[in-house]
Amino acid sequence: METDQLINALTIDGDSPGHPVSPADKLRLLNALVSRSNALAAELSTEIVSPTQAALFAHTIERAHQQGEVAQLRAALTAQRTLVQELPPQNLDQVRAIADNPAAFIHGTQRLLPDPATIPTGIMPFKDTTGFLQHDLRLPRFAAVNRLYAANTLLPTTDVHGNRCGPRYPKLAQQLERGIVSVGPTAAAARKLDKLSPTIARQPDAHSLAEHIEGRIADSVAAGIPTATNQLLTAIGDELDEATGPEELPTPEEIRAKTGIFINKRTKHFTYLTACMLNADAEVFLSHFAHSDNPRTLAGNREALTASATGMNPTDNPVNENGTSTPNGNGSTDGPDWFTHPENAETFPTEATGALPGIDANLATSLNSLATGQDGLTPPQRHLQTLLNLMRAPARPPGQGATGLPTARLIIHCRLETLLGLATGNGWSAHGLRIPIAEVRRRLATDGTIPLVLGGQSEILDVGQEMRFATDTIRRTVLARDGGCFYPGCTVPPEHLEMCDIDAYSDGGHTSVDQMTPGCTSHHHMADNGLLTLLIHNGIPHVVLPQHLDPEQLPRRNTYWPQNQATFF
């Protein structure tokens, strides 16, 4: 059947009443239309010479792009509703082949395989719909998560009883359906409205208030100025926080939605964090900061703080406000934080700094001031340094056992030739953050450092069959080489990983660096169950994925972790 005949046949119901066109035939039509639209766009881009036609062409393509974004949400929601992650590998392979070359499917010479007749058992090809979007459609994980969130928020859904429900935010959804706005800013606004919903829920007439707030946000999103929308959301959130009574406590839902430390942004040299906590918890921070701001106490030892400050190069004789040089004192380092030196101690300033003011209008200014003190640090730098010093303090309970405090350990990977200045490059932290090589050298000179030379002779890196589990030395070495989980694209933090045997220990495999690789619990189980194959390729561990995920069956490495991968064994 020709394409025109197919379109005519499928745009009306079937020949017999009660027998409409099947979804499979409509999929044929959709593939035909997509192929034809691409060909039409290519032809028009070279044939149009009229600016009027060019303007209409641009508007049409832009509208098609916006409609395509909404169609992506519909497809994601349909995949979630139909449990597409439970399809067997042969169905997934066929669907992928048809998507790459739909000609036979469009002409009706190829039909889709039937769905499984029974409930699938065992380990599924994908953990959930997000896994299908990520691995089968090749979406980044965050993009897959955001697409499913937008689909469940901005499109009609079905509740647990099978009843149809409208979009969570109907005004935003209506704008999206009409093509007034794009999916990205609309979904971002919806996510921020979700964070405000616990606070809105405890206000009088919460339903009407929620509709009013959504209307204001929808108008702001339609205006197309994301900064203005963010400012409006922030202002509404602040106003809602102040609207509660003095004796009214935040609900557990509100606490869960707002409190914590969040990573907002990462650049080449900086990581931006935002912390939110209850005022009672914030007082602990403020009290600690007050001690660090007071040079009369050991907690505020200016010399020690300056020496340990990140990225600071203090002078031997800081200059005070009067322009005179102040010698560095050698304050005592034994004694509690509240210990006060005698009045004639040379580390004292001529005037007392005084205590921090209370919670008033001047507090934010005093805490966030960018003016440097005699130690060369701004108050925010000083406050950050005290927290870093606490986490790096060696005199703490060990991290072993259920009640031990975790030990913060800074692990930096870099090549020896880069460290020696024989090659350019950077160091990388265990979590993939870029560390400038100058900072690596500074820390090697000033911090307590444990060097790790892969393949060196100073530590035992192979215990054969004498030990079932990897030693701490082997674990650190394996993580230094591989960075993270062996599965391509897996981003589980290094602290959560297990050591996986290339050759099973029960089959005679050795507990050694060259026979182990890190893996998260899920992918470790997949390897143990035979769904993945671990092997040594070019001297380092690789993984061969299932054929429905990697038809080429090539050894793969997880390239998410950016530290240098070199062959050491």
Q: What is the pLDDT along the chain (569 residues), one digit of tens a residue?
A: 455 555 565 555 445 555 577 888 889 889 999 988 999 999 999 999 999 999 999 999 999 999 999 999 999 999 999 999 989 889 999 999 999 999 999 888 889 999 988 887 777 888 899 999 998 999 988 899 999 999 999 999 887 777 888 999 999 999 999 888 999 999 999 999 998 888 888 888 889 999 999 999 999 999 999 899 999 998 998 888 777 665 567 778 787 777 887 777 778 788 888 888 877 677 767 776 766 666 655 555 556 555 655 554 444 444 444 444 444 443 333 333 433 334 443 333 333 333 333 334 344 455 566 677 776 776 666 666 666 666 566 555 544 443 344 455 677 777 777 887 877 887 877 766 677 888 788 777 776 666 655 544 444 455 555 667 888 878 888 888 888 899 998 888 787 889 999 888 878 888 888 888 999 999 999 898 888 999 988 888 899 998 888 889 999 998 887 654 444 33
Q: How far apart are CA 169 and CA 191, in angstroms?
A: 10
> With helix as H, strand as E and coil as C, how does 36-54 read?
HHHHHHHHHHHHCCCHHHH
CA dist 58 to 48, 71, 72, Å? 11, 20, 21
Give the start-to-end residue ranges of the domains of the chain: 3-165, 180-258, 279-318+329-392, 412-446, 452-569
Residue 169 is encoded by which pair of tokens? 């935010």
Q: How far apart are CA 73 and CA 27, in angstroms?
A: 17
Residue 224 is encoded by which pair of tokens? 């197309």
Which residues have a Cβ under 8 Å from the Cβ of 26 and sit 6 or more positions away?
Answer: 10
Residue (of 556, 566, 272) closest to 425 by Cα position: 566
**Helix boundaries (H) for 264-362:** 279-293, 302-308
Collapsed DSSP state (helix, strand, coil) of residue 490: coil
Pairing of strands 533-537, 540-544: antiparallel
CA angle 396, 400, 406 (to 5 degrees): 55
Residue with tokens 């070199």: 566
**Dihedrals φ, ψ of 428, to 5°?**
-135, 135
Collapsed DSSP state (helix, strand, coil) of residue 544: strand
Residue 423 is encoded by which pair of tokens? 């090659």
* Cβ(430)–Cβ(477) below 8 Å: no
Q: Is the dihedral of CA 45, 47, 49, 51 positive or negative?
A: negative
**Class of residue 417 by CB neighbours under 10 A (exposed 0-12, middle 13-18, buried 19+):** exposed
Q: What is the DSSP letter of 298?
A: G
Q: Is the dihedral of CA 215, 217, 220, 222 positive or negative?
A: negative
* Cβ(373)–Cβ(365) below 8 Å: no
Residue (of 307, 429, 327) closest to 377 by Cα position: 307
Q: Is the dihedral of CA 306, 310, 315, 320 positive or negative?
A: negative
Which residues have a Cβ under 8 Å from the Cβ of 221 and sit 6 or more positions away?
Answer: 172, 175, 181, 185, 186, 189, 229
